[in-house]
Structure 1
Amino acid sequence: MSDSPAPLAPGSLAGKTALVTGSSRGIGADTARYLAQAGADVVINYRNKAPRAEKLATELRALGVRVLVVGADLTDPASVSAMFEEVAREFGALDILVLNASGGMESGMAEDYALQLNRDAQIRVLETAQPLLHDGSRVVFVTSHQAHFIRTAPTMPEYEPVALSKRAGEDALRERIPSLTAQGIDFVVVSGDMIEGTITATLLERANPGAISERRGAAGKLYNVSEFAAEVAQAAIDPVPADNTRLVGDISSFSA
């Protein structure tokens, strides 16, 4: 994480509880940091690497907030149910749910793993969380321009299956907006370009050397992890934008 100032005012989320999926590292970890710095109690979710999640929890507890660490495989219904049962016991309700965890470029996974994680698991997490959400809660879904605009702007072949699965997840979540609105729950999609320093960027560069520098040249700037996480955290409190979509950075390459 960089030394840039926290994006949210200290105390602005005091008394709130936030769960960030995939928050033991990367964008998820920095988002959890920003929310905790603003006073929110935080649920750190991880799939593996418990020591890394616990290290972050120790850091955040030093800020004076409550932190719950819960390991869960989001593609496993029983694991997701167990996670929210623990959240319910600890906090009783959720004010902010950040759907950050995604993937699909990992090796050794099932052929449909990207769709399982980026669509099916996102819906599962939202539906399982919904009883804990309430009037005034907010759901934030994190995606990429390469996925958000995939139907009108082709992406690099190595990323296309992931992009298509993330767009499928976004579409499925958007179908829930009417039911969320009926509960008084806000929904926001945060879309950004390739993010410097993420696992996805590293895997893409490995599969297609020069891909990130080429994208950086086309965009003029690529956000780093902490910069983009600041946008995700801000999306948890800012007014809901038009079309429930917060576009981060230049989109000229995608909307032309």
Structure 2
Amino acid sequence: MMADLKDKTAIVTGSSRGIGADVAKFLAAQGAAVVVNYRQKAPRANKVVAEIEAAGGQAVAVGADLTAPEGVQALVDAALSLSGSGSLDLLVLNASGGMETSMGEDYALKLNRDAQVAMLQAATAVMQPGSRVVFVTSHQAHFINQVSTMDAYEPVARSKRAGEDALREFIPELEAKGISFVVVSGDMIEGTITATLLDRAQPGAIEARRTEAGKLYSVSEFAAEVAKAATAEVPTGHTEYVGGAVGFLE
């Protein structure tokens, strides 16, 4: 496993804003050259890159739709070009969605399962032993088969769980290549688009979850935990429950 991220190259999907943007900044601060991925909002991604470069880091913004094969390959190609050694060492699968009303009924499954698998396959085809894949999810999705969630979020949660299950099937293959796979699961995150949409669909839902959990992490706090998972000494297949999982593990 990577002892640090100096001279390493990382892809962070869905990193033009929110959790992904902060993860990209944290990884760059640890020495990684980072591919910042966006789907439509180039100015946001360029701002993240500018902040990384202003702090002395290295990054590039790449517009790519992960549900399209050419989008997935564009990220891998960018990482190999960005790397001084032509390598890709870390893949953070952060992009997710499905609550959008304009993307079609099957968009959640396309993005949260199919695109995750496609990204994993394309990236790990060029990753070397000692590399790592980090999949970002929520407790609400990770535990959806055991604990029900808010009605408005259930389709997304089930698609995210389907994505995690599909990715976990690759663990033996990845292990044979010396690539580790780690899942980071968090509660509802304060200030995210998902939390905002859920509270709009079901007023009071976020406050109720905050009361039950005792604390909900901010975007920056959760992103820091995702970044830590890049080099954490944990076995492949490990799930890190950020802040614990009150109401889920009991």
Q: TM-score, normalised by structure 2?
A: 0.95
Determine the structure 2 residue equivalent to 1:152. 146
Distance 2:74 2:7 in 1: 24
Moved over 6 A (4+): none
Distance (whole Å) between structure 2 residues aligned to residue 242 and residue 98 of structure 1: 15
Number of residues paired by the alignment? Answer: 246
**Does 79-88 or 36-45 show the bigger shift?**
79-88
> Structure 2 matches for 1:136-147, cutoff 5 A?
136-147=130-141
Distance in 1 between residues matched to 2:172 and 2:189, nearest whole Å: 31
Unaligned segments of structure 1, at least 5 residues: 1-10
**Does structure 1 residue 67 correspond to structure 2 residue 41?**
no
Q: What amino acid is the match of 2:167?
A: L
Match of 1:20 among 12, 26, 47: 12
Q: Contact 1:34–1:233 (CA<8 Å) still a contact in 2?
A: yes
* 153, 165, 184: which one aligns with 1:171: 165
What does 1:1-256 correspond to in 2, within 5 Å? Answer: 12-91=4-83, 92-241=86-235, 243-256=237-250
Q: Which amino acid aligns with 2:14?
A: G
Secondary structure, in 3 states, of the residue corresponding to 2:88?
coil
Deviation (angstroms), 1:132: 2.2
After TM superposition, the structure 1 stretch with the greater mean CA deviation from structure 2, 63-72 or 212-221, is 63-72
Q: CA deviation at 1:85?
A: 2.2
Taking a change above 3 Å as real, the CA distance of residues 46 and 185 of structure 1, as seen in their structure-2 partners, is: same
Share of identical aligned residues, percent?
Answer: 64
**Residue 243 of structure 1: how far off its partner (Å):** 4.5
What do the CA deviations read for 1:195-239 (whole angstroms, capped 9, x no partner)? 000010010011001000000001010001000001000000111
Shift in Å at residue 171 of structure 1? 0.3
Give, in angstroms, the shift of residue 88 of structure 1: 2.3
CA gap 1:194/1:61 in 2 versus in 1, 3 angstroms: same
Matched AA of 1:203: L
User: After the TM superposition, which of the residue ranges 109-118 and 62-71 deviates more from structure 2?
Assistant: 62-71
Q: For residue 7 of structure 1, what is the aligned residue in structure 2?
A: none
SS in 1 for 2:130: coil
Aligned-partner SS, 1:67: strand
Q: Deviations over 1:133-192 (max 9, x none)?
A: 110100000000000000100101110000000000000000000011011001000001
Q: Residue type matched to 1:163 in 2?
A: A
Distance 1:90 1:223 in 2: 32
C-alpha separation in 2, matches of 1:18 and 1:207: 35
How far 1:241 sits from its partner (Å)? 4.7
Deviates more, 1:152-161 or 1:244-253: 244-253
In the superposition, the TM-score normalised over structure 1's length comes to 0.93
Amino acid at match of 2:26: Y
Distance across 2 between alignment mates of 1:255 and 1:43: 35
Bigger shift: residues 126-135 or 140-149? 126-135
* Matches of 2:79 and 2:172, distance apart in 1: 25
